[in-house]
Chain A
């Protein structure tokens, strides 16, 4: 190999890695006709936070099925099953419940629960609402028997509870955009409701004053009010933004609440009407009307809250780019390359691995900053983000070591830690939104930025030192490629990183004590978590 090519190969690896992680930020359109992407960027308020419908779709599908995609079985026997992205699944839930009910989204794994419900092994792991419908009575009966005390529940009871919660979640999602019923005539329903509000109110006050009144108008009006009251109790998402005179983080309304408030205002909120139009258009297959409505909705939100317009669509892009997933793929590649480099083609593979590692670290960093921007917080706020951050810190330290020692150890350990922390993070994300709001005690950017960051950097260092030592032992025991010089280098690397970790862990722990003193007057609350630290 000529030296020229040897120099080129790592550069090529870097560019390819960059192209791979970069391509995520330019998602290709899901459909040439329907503008699904704009639907995914519509804002809603859930869990105290404003986020795009795309995040709602991904979070909920992940909670229900632990997957990013739903499966729509073919209607004809022998036909091919369709794999449906989360966003389209949510759109089907919103507009065509009859289709959504056929999609396989409920994961039921617990063997005892499957036995009780009589689900056979060959029936698969994930079920549609229609599949589960015959068992609904039995499931809610089992729910009644679950122990009230969370500490006393066994895994069967947990499984029953979870399935029940998931069914409720699905039910509440179905009711989040409009009342169920004649979905092709939603606008008509709203129109007649709007028309009956004034006369209905008039008849109501007459009835209350004991005056003669028109029973039919009153009953009609009350039926509407009753229907929307129920809807307001069931709807999960708050889809109707406040007026432009209020800050964007005040209470948004769900469809039911908004329809009830129409009794006072006399008119129906534009967002509610637009969701109805959107539903009708999608059901009729009218892409033009659908796209127009979605665009109008986004435009009116942007006009109302110009300061928020970028954040919501950025989160959509962040979801599509999957920076942490792509970074973890690259980390695996780096690890494989380094391991091979210890056996053959050392220098070239080693430099290529280092180049790929840089690309992976870049996207890891970008993902971290994207989360900080979306949440408006320092990087570590919960267990999920601490896993991401610990991995990030360890990779950074590993890169610095690799830069100095050039023996592959820095790359290998970084890649291993980067990959494993991101896998851990992925599993933590199955429980819901990872950008949740901070409870009152934790609601302090100063302490989140000092104590939490310092101590997690300490963790990063400890992980790296441990991984370095493990690699050194494995390489020394399993291969004969570990010479005295490398051994010495690893020793000083491990020693240095341990010193570094002691500094950060000590200062981080003490800052935690000081934070505790600031919040409730005790340096040490004897919390098992503190004792663990």
Chain B
């Protein structure tokens, strides 16, 4: 029995089947990218154990819309390939000089698959919008949201309580000993249209306090968007309780930016700000944008170069470093990499993509290993075939 299992996991047949499924996964994923965009497709196809591909676009009314093709997802295929590869190398291939190329190739591939998992679980992508002259020590996600309670009593020392918002559902309690209050999520909309109610509309207010109450805002369900150039306006109606005592209800949304009044409530002698915003990462250093430039080829709209000149300051470590970030030349600092990503406001605002990926060096090592392995293997093969040919010639002569 154990032998059978071993044979199964070391077999080349398994490799071929898994690679076949991987190709199908990539193919159908590429088709679905049209409907779901890059991030959603990655989650459905690669960060999952099973995925069902539907030939019809989402929200189709056709009775066939539910018929789909089930495929193993990336979390199933990746580990199986990894096991298959390691098992085959350990038990099927002989370890000798003739096979050293294969060993190198397989080592590189194992590293590549591992690096993909590390990237998947630990990599973090954030965006940092900076106007010229502006300084920031945080960057935000463009997908994930958080609900924050900020203790504003002492402006010099803000305490931020952050709650992951992406898994919240309507009717859920947020109850944690570390939070000063209990929060009841009355409604959670993954995307919403928010409008002002007209004077003649007889719509009851959705919240008793804050912007919704004072500005007469009304949030309505909107289908989630998967387009790369649109964002989902996550919006929630929450009720806040201190013990059993209800303090009121608020509407919070990631659409409410600096132009909206800050929503606060008082509890005892403390004042808290409450907001729903794109998830932020704070850094122990700050970035100041000195200058953004955008060059085009003369007489055309073809961009030649975008670049941001920035200063990194880290008072604790006594670092003050100036750097030019431009295409293909990111800034690497403190485990984060800053890329030139976008710009706006007549070339006075710059967006840096901030990526933290602890596994970023692994693919570099992997490609080197596999490259060397392939060269070694083919050279060995070539010399061997020459040796065979020469020995045959000798046979013919003798």
Contact = CB atoms under 8 A, between A and B. Distances in A.
Please say whether chains A and B are actual partners in one complex. Answer: yes
Interface of A: 45-49, 238, 249-252, 436-437, 439-441, 443-444, 447, 492, 496, 499-500, 502-503, 506-507, 510-511, 513-515, 517-523, 525-526, 528, 531
Contact of A499 (B303, B337, B339, B378): B378
B163 interface: no
A531 B30 CA distance: 7
A521 B337 contact: yes
15 contacts: A45-B298, A46-B299, A238-B298, A250-B298, A439-B303, A441-B328, A444-B327, A507-B367, A510-B370, A513-B363, A513-B367, A517-B363, A518-B328, A521-B353, A526-B33
Contacts of A492: 385
Contact of B330 (A252, A507, A518): A518
B371 A519 contact: no
Contact of B26 (A251, A437, A502, A531): A531
Contact of B374 (A249, A506, A514): A506
A436 B302 CA distance: 10
Nearest to B360: A517
B371 A48 contact: no
Residue picked from A238, A440, A443, most chain B C-beta under 10 Å: A440
Nearest to B327: A440
Interface string B300-320: 101111100000000000000
A506 B104 CA distance: 14
A514 B363 contact: yes
Contacts of A525: 38
Contacts of A506: 370-371, 374
A440 B42 contact: no
Given A440-B304, A506-B371, A528-B30, A523 B299 contact: no
A49 B299 CA distance: 9
A48 B300 contact: yes
Contacts of A515: 328
Contact of A522 (B29, B296, B297, B355): B355
Nearest to B295: A440
Contacts of B385: 492
A522 B353 CA distance: 10
Contacts of A522: 125, 355
A518 B119 CA distance: 15
A45 B299 contact: yes
B341 A520 contact: yes
Contacts of A500: 378
B23 to A, nearest CB: 10
Interface string B255-266: 000000000000
Contact of A440 (B38, B299, B303): B303
A521 B370 contact: no
Nearest to A250: B298
B186 to A, nearest CB: 36
Contacts of A513: 363, 367
A513 B116 CA distance: 12
B304 A437 contact: yes
Interface in B1-45: 26-27, 29-30, 33, 38, 41-42
Contacts of A443: 304-305, 327-328
B366 interface: yes
B381 interface: yes
A521 B360 CA distance: 9
Nearest to B385: A492
A225 B303 CA distance: 32
Interface string B364-387: 101100110011001001100100
Nearest to A238: B299
B100 interface: no
Given A521-B357, A526-B38, A251 B298 contact: yes
B363 A510 contact: yes
A181 B289 CA distance: 52
Given A440-B306, A521-B357, A251 B327 contact: no
Please name the 4 residue pairs, one residue from A and one from B, whose CB atoms are nearest each other, closest first: A48-B297, A521-B355, A510-B367, A503-B374
Contacts of A521: 125, 330, 337, 339, 353, 355, 357
A320 to B, nearest CB: 26
A522 B339 CA distance: 11
Nearest to A496: B382
A439 B295 CA distance: 11
A47 B299 contact: yes
Contacts of B42: 526
Given A437-B297, A437-B302, A500-B378, A514 B367 contact: yes
Contacts of A502: 374
B370 A251 contact: no
A269 to B, nearest CB: 17
B327 A519 contact: yes
Contacts of B364: 514
Interface string B47-86: 0000000000000000000000000000000000000000
A327 to B, nearest CB: 30
A439 B26 CA distance: 28
Contacts of B298: 45, 48, 238, 249-252
Residue picked from A444, A492, A499, A522, most chain B C-beta under 10 Å: A522
A127 to B, nearest CB: 30
Interface string B343-360: 000000000010101001
Contacts of B360: 517
Nearest to A511: B367
Given A499-B381, A506-B374, A531-B30, 13 more contacts: A46-B299, A251-B298, A439-B302, A440-B303, A441-B328, A443-B327, A520-B353, A521-B330, A523-B119, A523-B363, A525-B38, A526-B29, A528-B30
Given A47-B299, A48-B302, A520-B339, A503 B327 contact: no
Contacts of B306: 440
Residue picked from B297, B302, B364, B382, most chain A C-beta under 10 Å: B297
A514 B378 CA distance: 24
Nearest to B109: A506
A514 to B, nearest CB: 6
Contacts of A518: 328-330
A513 B363 CA distance: 8
Nearest to A50: B298
Nearest to A254: B299
Residue picked from B302, B329, B330, B341, most chain A C-beta under 10 Å: B302
Contacts of A520: 339, 341, 353
B299 to A, nearest CB: 5
Contacts of B30: 528, 531
A496 B360 CA distance: 33
B236 to A, nearest CB: 30
A435 to B, nearest CB: 12
Nearest to B362: A523
Contacts of B119: 523
A526 B375 CA distance: 29
B33 A507 contact: no
Nearest to B377: A499
A45 B299 CA distance: 8
B369 to A, nearest CB: 10
Nearest to B389: A492
B143 to A, nearest CB: 14
Nearest to A441: B327
Contacts of A517: 360, 363
A48 to B, nearest CB: 3
A503 B302 contact: no
Residue picked from A49, A503, A528, most chain B C-beta under 10 Å: A503
Contact of A507 (B41, B337, B371): B371
